Amino acid sequence: MQADFSIRSEKSVGARIASNAGLLIGAKALGVLLGLATLKIASMVLNPVLFGTLVFMHAYMLFFGEVTTFKNWQSIIRFGADDAEKQDVEGFARLIKFTTKLDFLTVILAYILAVSLLGVALYIWSTFPDLRPSDLDVDLIKTFVPLYCLVLFVRLIGTSYGILRLFDRFKLLAIEALTLPVLRLAGSVYVLLSGGGFKEFLLVWFAASGVNYLLVMTFGIMELKSRNLLKPVIKAKQSLIGTRKGLWPFAAKANVDSSIASGFMHLPMILVTVVFGPAWAGVYKYAEEVMRLLTEGFKLLDQVIYPELAKFVSQGTPDKIWPVVKRASGYMLLSGAFASLIVWWGAPPTIAYIFGEEYRQSGILAAILVPGATLLGMVTPIYPIFYAANKPERAIYVRGAALMIYVISFFVLSHLIGKMAPAWAIVCANLFAVALALFAAKRTLRSMVS
């Protein structure tokens, strides 16, 4: 049977971006609400230190999962869009075989790095006890972090994400986005009713993550099968070394960029725990979830807009890119400004009322984090320009410089203003990123059009 590369949608590019973005944002927003309910249950059962330790372990696992990944979905869209345009079944099959092998390689590397860095941290804390936060239970970290990070071995999701995004299967991605929060909430309710504690919560979060990763892989395989592409992929001969021109450099640069991006996603929680202790990490986690509730669409927009920009390049019409990006950035700015007003007005008393007076400061943190995330929303549609233009190194320069600003700001402000430093550091970093990304994007588009 003939392979099917068609995009099963009759909508225009703008309508497709809006529809897919709305679908994912709605799913992610609902997921964050369910996540807040999960955190509420965990904070009711666990004391602040154990609650902070729980969220730290999850962030630690995700950080290494993100740092090592090659963001294979970007390679699939960048090169798979060309294969789809040419109806090149053999080339596409080899591409999928290559990214699948990369997925296996990266999960092994992720676990090795996670356990190795933990060993370094334990050595430093034992040698210099004054560097260890007073409320950090080192024995708990030593025992459970290596076990929790085992879930990384089923985190083979990059290729499946690429397949689903390339073929506009965002409904399946929306279902996947809700799987983890639903399972984790259901499990947390069971732990609450059965009288469980820290170990039971850890097991629930572990199992929910594992099931979610397996579901993503299942959706990817089903999509290939429905398009008569699964057998060609299985039969394809493709090593990790000898592959198509430009794929390895692109994948390597995407890996560096994604590693930097993961710094903004998960590094703050790790730094907060290490510098201020797990109790304050729990406070910060609530603020972070409020920020995610109101700004989740910012991080998702590149996943929706990048496939469309890649198609513009494949079709030889790069002049259509900037109007789409400019409009998307404007929408993100307006929605972020509206979200900031809501948080400034209502976050501190609302969080204190729902989650307890001990978490009132989460609302203050959120009132700083959300405007900072609004700046991220402005720059998010710009990064896909660099990938569509086959210039991912420019995204690396922008994000890398912004991450350096964040880390420097975090430690300087921690010394100057204390526990509010993580939020203000986000603002400083994203202000810098907006200015630098705009400059680099305009230069990139001028060269593409000319």
pLDDT at 317: 64
Mean pLDDT calculated for residue range 324-333 = 69
CB burial of residue 120 (10 Å; 0-12, 13-18, 19+): exposed
Structure tokens at 122: 């334990």
How many Cβ atoms from other residues are within 10 Å of residue 428's Cβ? 19
Residue 151's pLDDT band (boundaries 50, 70, 90)? very high
Enter the pTM of the model: 0.77
Other beta carbons less than 10 A from residue 417's beta carbon: 11
Backbone phi and psi for residue 242, each to the nearest 5 degrees, phi listed first = -90, 105
Among 389, 381, 255, smallest CA distance to 310 is for 389
User: For the chain, which residues make up each domain, given as ranges?
Assistant: 44-249, 277-443
**Coil/strand/helix, residue 302:** helix
Task: Place 358 in a pLDDT band, splitting at 50, 70 and 90.
Answer: confident
Q: Please give the Cα distance from 160 to 333 (Å, whole number).
A: 31
Q: What angle do CA 420, 400, 277 make, to 5 degrees?
A: 30
- The CA distance from 402 to 267, in Å, is 13
pLDDT at site 315: 61
Q: Which residues, 6 or more positions from 64, have their beta carbon under 8 angstroms from its beta carbon?
A: 110, 111, 113, 114, 117, 149, 152
Stretch 437-449: mean pLDDT, rounded? 76
Whole-angstrom distance, CA of residue 246 vs CA of residue 72:
14
Question: Which pLDDT belongs to residue 27?
Answer: 81
pLDDT of residue 192 exceeding 70, the answer is yes
Q: What is the DSSP string of 115-130?
A: HHHHHHHHHHHHH-GG
Region 217-241: what's the mean pLDDT? 88
Average pLDDT over residues 252-264: 76
Note the pLDDT of residue 450. 62
Residue 92: HSE in the Cβ half-sphere, 13 Å Cα cutoff: 25
pLDDT tens per residue across span 79-98: 888 888 888 888 899 999 99
Q: What pLDDT was estimated at residue 303? A: 60
Q: Residue 179 pLDDT more than 60?
A: yes
Across 136-140, 199-203, 381-385, 397-401, the highest mean pLDDT is recorded for 199-203
- Distance separating alpha carbons of residues 152 and 114, to the nearest angstrom: 10
Q: Name residue, tokens 């994604």.
A: 258
Q: What is the pLDDT of residues 276-320, one digit of tens each?
A: 888 888 888 888 887 777 666 666 666 666 566 666 666 666 666
Q: What is the mean pLDDT of residues 182-201?
A: 93
Q: Which pLDDT band, with edges at 50, 70 and 90, does 14 fall under?
A: low
Of 55-64, 341-350, 398-407, the least confident: 341-350
- Whether the Cβ atoms of residue 195 and residue 145 lie closer than 8 Å to each other: no
Angstrom distance (rounded) from CA 432 to CA 120: 32
CA distances from 318 to 326, 358, 389 (A): 14, 52, 9
> What's residue 320's pLDDT?
66
Q: Taking 90 as the threshold, does the pLDDT of residue 189 lie above it? A: yes
Which segments of 69-169 does DSSP mark as H helices, in order? 72-86, 89-127, 138-148, 158-166
Query: What's the pLDDT at 187?
Result: 94
Measured CA to CA, the distance from residue 402 to residue 397 in angstroms comes to 9
Q: What is the pLDDT of residues 94-108, one digit of tens each?
A: 999 999 998 999 899
Q: Is the pLDDT confidence value at 126 over 80?
A: yes
- Write 152-155 long-range contacts (CB < 8 A, 24+): 152/61, 152/64, 152/65, 152/107, 152/110, 152/111, 152/114, 153/107, 153/108, 153/111, 154/107, 154/210, 154/213, 154/214, 155/65, 155/107, 155/110, 155/213
Q: What is the pLDDT of residues 391-430, one digit of tens each?
A: 778 888 888 898 899 999 999 999 888 888 888 898 898 8
Residue 10 has pLDDT above 70, yes or no: no
Question: pLDDT tier at 213 (50, 70, 90 boundaries)?
Answer: very high
- The pLDDT value recorded for residue 202 is 93
Q: Which two tokens mark 87?
A: 């109806």
Mean pLDDT of the chain: 82
